[in-house]
C-alpha cells in the first residue's frame, strides 16, 4: 500500500477507523458492534493488507480496550501507529487542565496497553480555541515527558483552517468528501498543508450517505435526495462506483496523509484496500465540476449530528 513519510513517521494511505469496534455506528451499519473475535479479525486483516495506522478515541465506546487486547497478541515491533483522542477537559486553570489531560492520557495508555501514545489529538477544536496558551503548554509537556510522540486536533469543516495551521499541532483530522468540499474551494486545506501537518481525512463516505440509493430513502432522509441524484449522475459520467468516486476525489487533493475508513467486517477492509489501489486522479475540469455542483451543500446535510433521528 502507498504510504507517506512525514515528521519521521511512515503512515499508510489508509488508516483503519475503529469507532465501529466500540459502538454501533453509521446509518448503513446493520450488524452492530462486532464480537471481540471479529474485531481481532478486522485488525489482523488490516495489518496484513498494509494498513499500519489505527484511529480511535476515548469516546468510541470500548474501542481502545479492544485495540489494547489485540495489541497484547502482537510483539511491540509489529504495533501499528495509533491515533487516539481526548475530550471533556477542565479549563478552570492551567493546573486543572494539566491534571485533567494527564489523567485522560494515563487512562488511554492503560486501555491501549502503551507506554507512549504515538499521536494524541484533541477531539474538539474548541478545547484549543478557548484556551490556546494552556493547551500548547500541556501538550508540549506531554511530548517532553515522553507520554506522547505527536500532538494533533480533530476539527470540523466550519472551523477556520487558518487557526488550525497556526496552532503548532503536528497533525489534524478533517472531514472531507465531495459534498463537504468548501475548505478545498476556499484554500483552507492548502493552509494546513503548507504548515507541514499530517492530514488525516475522515467522513469520505459521509457515514455511508454516498452509498444510499436516492430512490430508496426513508422519509427522514428525503432532504438528501437532490444531492444524491446529482452524485449518482457524476458516477455515471465518470464511470466510477460511488466508493471509487468518493475516494478518488479526496486522493486528487494535494497534501492529505491518510484516509480514515471504518469497517464492520474483513471483506470491507479488503474492499477498501483494493479501492485505494484503484483510485484515479480526477482532472482539474472534473474537480471544478464537482465543486460547482456541491460547493454550496447545506450544513444540515454535511453534519450527521443534524440529521433527523430515526
Q: How many CB atoms lie within 10 A of CB 213?
A: 10
Q: Is residue 178 part of a domain?
A: yes
Identify the domain containing residue 12 by its residue range.
6-208+246-280
pLDDT of residue 26: 47
Domain assignment present for residue 237? The answer is no
CA torsion sign, 29 to 34 to 39 to 45?
Answer: negative
Distance CA 84, CA 56 (A): 5
Nearest-angstrom CA–CA distance, 37 and 224: 36
Per-residue model confidence as pLDDT tens digits over 116-166:
999 999 999 999 999 999 999 999 999 999 999 999 999 999 999 999 999
Distance CA 81, CA 112 (A): 12
Lowest mean pLDDT of 53-57, 140-144, 259-263, name the range: 259-263
Decide if 130 is inside a domain.
Answer: yes
Q: What integer is the mean pLDDT of 66-88? A: 97
Is there a domain that residue 214 lies in? no
User: What is the reported pLDDT for 28?
Assistant: 47
Q: What average pLDDT does this structure show over 240-261?
A: 94
Q: What is the pLDDT of residue 27?
A: 46
Of the pLDDT bands very low, low, confident and very high (cuts 50, 70, 90), residue 31 is low
Cα–Cα distance measured from residue 285 to residue 295, given in angstroms and rounded to the nearest whole number: 15
Query: DSSP state, 282?
Result: P
Task: Determine, yes or no, domain membership for 89.
Answer: yes
| Structure confidence by residue, pLDDT tens digits, 272-288 | 999 998 889 999 999 99
pLDDT > 70: percent of the chain: 97
End-to-end CA distance of the chain: 38
H/E element, 294: helix 284-294
Classify residue 298: in a domain, yes or no: no
pLDDT at residue number 79: 96
Q: Which residue is associated with the grid cell 454516498?
A: 210
Mean pLDDT of 5-33: 82
Residue-averaged pLDDT of the chain:
94
> 486545506: which residue's cell?
189
Please give the Cα distance from 87 to 120 (Å, whole number): 11
**pLDDT, position 310:** 75
Model confidence, pTM: 0.93
Within a domain: residue 294?
Answer: no
Q: Residue 141 falls within a domain, yes or no?
A: yes
Burial of 247 by CB count in 10 Å (0-12 exposed, 13-18 middle, 19+ buried)?
A: buried
The CATH number assigned to the domain holding 261 equals 3.20.20.100
Residues near 15 by Cβ (< 8 Å), separated by ≥ 6?
51, 53, 54, 55, 83, 200, 258, 259, 260, 261
Give residue-wise pLDDT tens across range 184-230: 999 999 999 999 999 999 999 998 999 999 999 999 999 999 999 99
Number of domains in the chain: 1
Q: Which residues pair with 200 in a beta bridge?
A: 173, 258
Is the four-CA dihedral 142, 143, 149, 155 of positive or negative sign? positive
Amino acid at each position: 500500500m502507498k504510504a507517506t513519510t512525514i515528521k519521521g513517521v511512515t503512515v499508510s494511505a489508509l488508516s483503519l477507523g475503529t469507532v465501529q469496534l466500540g459502538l454501533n455506528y453509521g446509518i448503513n451499519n446493520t450488524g452492530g458492534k462486532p464480537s471481540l473475535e471479529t474485531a481481532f479479525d478486522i485488525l489482523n486483516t488490516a495489518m496484513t493488507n498494509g494498513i499500519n495506522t489505527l484511529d480511535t478515541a476515548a469516546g468510541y465506546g470500548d474501542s481502545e480496550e479492544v485495540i489494547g487486547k489485540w495489541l497484547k497478541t502482537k510483539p511491540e515491533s509489529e504495533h501499528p501507529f495509533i491515533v487516539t483522542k481526548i475530550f471533556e477537559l477542565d479549563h478552570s486553570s492551567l493546573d486543572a487542565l494539566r491534571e485533567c489531560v494527564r489523567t485522560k492520557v494515563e487512562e488511554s495508555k492503560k486501555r491501549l496497553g502503551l507506554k507512549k501514545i504515538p499521536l494524541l489529538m484533541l477531539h474538539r477544536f474548541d478545547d484549543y480555541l478557548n484556551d490556546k496558551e494552556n493547551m500548547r503548554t500541556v501538550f508540549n509537556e506531554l511530548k517532553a515527558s515522553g507520554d506522547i510522540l505527536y500532538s494533533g486536533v480533530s476539527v470540523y469543516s466550519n472551523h477556520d483552517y487558518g487557526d488550525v495551521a497556526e496552532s503548532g499541532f503536528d497533525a489534524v483530522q478533517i472531514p472531507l468528501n465531495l459534498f463537504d468540499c468548501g475548505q478545498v474551494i476556499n484554500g483552507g486545506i492548502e493552509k494546513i498543508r503548507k504548515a507541514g501537518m499530517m492530514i488525516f481525512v475522515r467522513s469520505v463516505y459521509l457515514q455511508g450517505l454516498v452509498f444510499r440509493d436516492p430512490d430508496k430513502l426513508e422519509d427522514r432522509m428525503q432532504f438528501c435526495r437532490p444531492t444524491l441524484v446529482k452524485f449518482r449522475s457524476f458516477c455515471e459520467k465518470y464511470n466510477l462506483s460511488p466508493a471509487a468516486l468518493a475516494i478518488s476525489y479526496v486522493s486528487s487533493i494535494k497534501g492529505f496523509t491518510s484516509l480514515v475508513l471504518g469497517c464492520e467486517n474483513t471483506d470491507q477492509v479488503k474492499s477498501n484496500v483494493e479501492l485505494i489501489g484503484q483510485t484515479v486522479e480526477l482532472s482539474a475540469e472534473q474537480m471544478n465540476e464537482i465543486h460547482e455542483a456541491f460547493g454550496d451543500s447545506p450544513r444540515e446535510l454535511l453534519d450527521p449530528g443534524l440529521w433527523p433521528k430515526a
